[in-house]
Chain A
Amino acid sequence: DGGITQSPKYLFRKEGQNVTLSCEQNLNHDAMYWYRQDPGQGLRLIYYSQIVNDFQKGDIAEGYSVSREKKESFPLTVTSAQKNPTAFYLCASSASLTEETQYFGPGTRLLVL
């Protein structure tokens, strides 16, 4: 998984609850990304960040929020506004936003109770 860690591996969310997924990288990469993966589908981009204190919405940002206070860390919060949060969440990083190759973490599976 190339120096990218995600925790927890499994996460359970109660209705109306916000939950935060952790992503840490020790690759000294500037750019980080969050994707959502649903069964039988490809990865869809939620948010991305090219540098500390900067992040941009991806294709499906509604119901999610992020922060980038440190270069190594890019946590994702799934808010209660996300009505269908059950999915596999993948964090990735690349040397920069203009560097095409992204390396992925092991993922967090979020389930709704």
Chain B
Amino acid sequence: GESVGLHLPTLSVQEGDNSIINCAYSNSASDYFIWYKQESGKGPQFIIDIRSNMDKRQGQRVTVLLNKTVKHLSLQIAATQPGDSAVYFCAETRSLNTGFQKLVFGTGTRLLVSP
């Protein structure tokens, strides 16, 4: 079936390094993608989003890249800080015939940042 998945369950980096978190999706009809950050014991926090008519979008220290050819999404975090340690989820939206934009989540990647 269709799914949103992640290549690596855990990513360990040193403080100051750049981090890249990857996500694969299988529904070529998806037209909107979101990255969420979830700290331990807390709810997911919106980081950045991108629509399928874009290849790249930048925020503060974060960049999302979308490669529709291979159905791949990545989140790049520049100058990673200890406060970036969390689980990162990608999510895609799938339109139901009711118009409901359903979010489908991947299983998440844990980012560990060492000082």
Using a CB–CB cutoff of 8 Å, the interface residues on chain A facing chain B are 1, 4, 6, 40-43, 45, 48, 50, 56, 90, 92, 97-107, 109
Contacts and interface: CB of A to CB of B under 8 A. Distances in A.
B61 interface: no
11 contacts: A1-B42, A42-B4, A43-B89, A90-B43, A90-B44, A97-B98, A100-B34, A101-B34, A103-B46, A107-B42, A109-B41
Interface residues on B, range: 20 to 34
Interface of B: 4, 9, 32, 34, 36, 41-46, 49, 89, 93, 98-103, 105-108
B32 A98 contact: no
Contacts of A48: 100
B107 A102 contact: no
Contact of B32 (A92, A100, A103, A106): A100
Nearest to B93: A100
> What 8 pairs across the A-B complex have the smallest Cβ distances?
A42-B105, A104-B43, A100-B101, A43-B105, A97-B100, A100-B93, A104-B44, A100-B32
A107 B43 contact: yes
B108 A42 contact: yes
A100 B99 contact: no
Given A104-B44, A106-B43, A45 B102 contact: yes
A105 to B, nearest CB: 5
Contact of B101 (A42, A97, A107, A109): A97
Nearest to A33: B103
B32 to A, nearest CB: 5
